[in-house]
Homo-oligomer: A and B are copies of this chain.
Amino acid sequence: MNSSLDVAVREGRLSEADRRHLTRAIELGREGWGRVHPNPMVGAVVARDADVLGEGRHEVLGGAHAEVAALSVAGNARGATLYTSLEPCRHHGKTPPCTEAVRAAGVGRVIFWAADPGRDAGGGGGWLRERGVAVDGPFGGWDDWRAENPFFFHDPARPRPFLAIKLAVSLDGRIAPAGGSRVWLTGPEVRREVHRLRAGFDAILVGRGTWEADDPRLTARGPVTPRVPPVPVLLDRRGRANPELRALKEAAQARGIVATSTERAAALRQRLGALADIVAAPTTPHGLDLGALLAELHRHGVTRVLCEGGGRVAASLLATRLVDRIYLFVAPVFIGSEGVPAFPLGAAVRRPEPPAARPAPRDGDPAGTGGSRFPTRGWQPCADPVRFGEDTLIVLDRSS
């Protein structure tokens, strides 16, 4: 994200103060996590040179947009500059167009980060420019914007949910000791962050191994209270879920979802009654057809899924190439080779070209400069890594 702003500063397109205000606008936007979807998270700053006149953010779906909030704090913004993390909208939605508010306030200059791709809302920058406002933006590109607003910049043409996987792994790539004893790899700071993340999704999905062993509640009990609590989704090919499961009994506002095979759906529906919705998918030799299941969940209204494991489900989803984001928490522990591997992946996740087909780098220095690169990239960090207590979070998006 910041690298595109660095480039703009180097090229003289933005001043240092511009960069600071625009970065602040992006930060303000982040506070909308779990509260504004399906709107994007947006923050805005009104400033005159170094002086900040007002800050605002889109706080909750249906409330004021960030630009309007910041202008209202600023009071007199005539001739000032508006920094916003998203191009001002120009459509009448739940609120009037931001473009008209910006123009009415007499703002002299607008600097925006991400382009609004919406057919109706987009194009606000051009609209303002035509009316004599100096406008500069966008900066960066789709990958940067998606890093901040993964749901909003998710390909709208894809008839399936945005899918993120969260896993906690040891330094040697294991998720648990052998024998399935249940222990935390990560510390309390990570658990708090996971609860915060949950608030941004509308469904939390786990495999049978996880709900059988842990009986998790799958609710968002962290620093963000989600506008709409996420729905638990239990994978249950064999139809073994029972009404005592806490995820189903305690699902806050909505009923939980149990995903099972087409064959088991009727019996399960009868057993669970009003406690859960049953979503059915065909089976393959490897288990439920996860692609079909995700499409079915999408038809069911689920748009943002966080899968919390276990490792086998994560590996199966990765093999389908339907995963958009990985939240990988690395704990500073070793488990040993008899532990449960984090991603029991077969060859299916690799790219077609076999690594052996590429010439071995015979200059061979482990830190040398020649040689070929392992071909299975396809993931890229979408943010800087973050330390949570003694653990490290790496967030990866699928390369576009």
- The residues of A with any CB-CB pair to B shorter than 8 Å are 169-174, 177, 179, 181-185, 187-188, 191, 194-195, 198, 206, 210, 213-218, 308-309, 318, 326, 328, 330-338, 341-347, 349-350, 355-356, 358, 360-369, 371-381, 384-387, 390, 392, 394, 396
Contacts and interface: CB of A to CB of B under 8 A. Distances in A.
A386 B331 CA distance: 16
What are the 4 tightest A-B residue pairs by CB atom distance, in nearest-first order?
Answer: A173-B173, A214-B364, A385-B385, A194-B367
Contacts of A373: 183-185, 187
Chain A interface, >50% SS class: loop
Tally of this chain's copies: 2
Given A365-B216, A374-B185, A347 B336 contact: yes
22 contacts: A169-B173, A171-B343, A172-B342, A173-B173, A177-B355, A183-B355, A183-B360, A184-B361, A188-B369, A195-B367, A213-B360, A214-B361, A214-B364, A215-B364, A216-B366, A318-B334, A333-B376, A333-B377, A334-B350, A335-B350, A377-B390, A392-B394
A323 B356 CA distance: 33
Contact of A356 (B179, B346, B360): B179
Contact of A366 (B214, B362, B375): B214
Contacts of A191: 367-369
Nearest to A336: B345
A351 to B, nearest CB: 10
A140 B133 CA distance: 52
Given A345-B336, A372-B183, A374-B183, A365 B218 contact: yes
Nearest to A396: B332
Contacts of A216: 364-368
A344 B341 CA distance: 12
A58 B183 CA distance: 46
A173 B333 contact: no
A342 B173 contact: yes
